[in-house]
Amino acid sequence: MRNKITARDNPLVKQTARLLKSREARQTEGLFLCEGGVMLEEALRSGAAIDKVFAREGTALPQLPSGVGVYEVSEGVLEKLSDVKTPQGIVFTCGIPSGRRLRGPHVLALENVQDPGNVGTVIRTAEAFGIDSVALLGACADVYTPKTVRSTMGSIFRLHICTGGTEDFFAQTAALGLPVYAAALTREAVPIRAVDLAKAAVMIGNEANGLSEKTLDLCDKHVIIPISGIQSLNAAVAASIFMYEMARKE
C-alpha cells in the first residue's frame, strides 16, 4: 500500500531532503538518496538496504522487500527530493554501510580527490576491473552525494568502499601484506610497467596537488604513467590505467 504525500513541507519530505546536501545529515541518518528506476533496479539486484521509495503518482514499481516504505508523491515533492532539473519519477533512500575494513589484494585509494564525478568514475571503473576495495582518504568528495552516486551508475551498491585516515590505511595495507605505490611524478618514480601490481595498493592524489608529502614518504615506491605532450592525466583516467594494470597482471 502506498502512502500519499503532496505537501513539500511534510516533515518526512523535509527530513529526507536534507540528505541531498548535508553530509552530516547522511551520517546521522545512516542513509543516502538515489534517483531513477534504473538505479532502483540496480539496488534491488545488489541487495542494497533500501529504506523508503518516493514515486510519482501512477509510476510502476518493481517488487520491493517487505518493510520498505512506499510513498506516492506530487511533482513538487519530487522536485524537493531531487537535485536535477527534471526529476525521473522515483527517489529512494538506502542505508550506508558502516565499519568497513579493506579487502585485498587489489586496492585503489584516493587522497583528497574532490571532484564527485572523478570519485564516481573511479568506483564504476573499479568494479569493471575487479578491484577489491576503494579507499577514500582525507578530504575526498563524499561518495554519497547525489552527483557521485549517479556517476557510479550502480557500482556504489556492489563495490567495497572504505573511508578513513591515511595512517589507518597504511596500517590496514600492512596487515594485508600489500605494498603501497604512489602515482606521483617524482625524481625516484619508476614506470608503471616496472612494478608488480598483481597484489598491491595504489594511491591517487588530489586533482591539482597530487599526494601529500607525508603520504609520498610512507609509500613503498613512486610510479608514473609515461605520457607525452601533456604534464598529467585526469585523476580518474590515471586511476583507470592503474586498475587496468592491476587486473592485467592477475
pLDDT for residue 174 is more than 80: yes
pLDDT reported for residue 119: 97
Tens of pLDDT, residues 123-150: 999 999 999 999 999 999 999 999 999 9
CA angle 44–161–192, rounded 5-degree value = 125
pTM of the model: 0.92
For residue 220, give the nearest of 101, 130, 107 by alpha carbon.
Answer: 107
CATH topology of domain 106-248: Alpha/beta knot (3.40.1280)
pLDDT for residue 250 is more than 70: no
Rg of the Cα atoms in the chain = 20
DSSP state of 243: H
Domain boundaries for CATH 3.40.1280.10 within the chain:
106-248
Give counts: helices (H), strands (E), the chain. 9, 12
Mean per-residue pLDDT, 212-218: 96
Calculate what percentage of the chain has a pLDDT beyond 70. 99
Q: What strand order describes the sheet that includes 31-35?
A: 3-5, 69-73, 50-56, 90-95, 31-35
Q: How far apart are CA 61 and CA 165, in angstroms?
A: 40
| Residue 230 binned pLDDT confidence (cut-offs 50, 70, 90) | confident
Domain boundaries for CATH 3.30.1330.30 within the chain:
3-95
Does domain 3-95 bear CATH number 3.40.50.620?
no
| Residue 249 binned pLDDT confidence (cut-offs 50, 70, 90) | low
* 97 upstream amide cis, omega within 30 of 0: no
C-alpha cell read off for 136 = 577514500
- Say if CB 159 and CB 123 are below 8 A apart: yes
Buried b (16+ CB within 10 A) or exposed e, 234-244: ebbebbbbbbe
| Residue 1 binned pLDDT confidence (cut-offs 50, 70, 90) | low
Residues 6+ apart with CB under 8 A from 20: 33, 81, 82, 83, 146
Residue 118: CA count within 13 A, CB half-sphere: 22
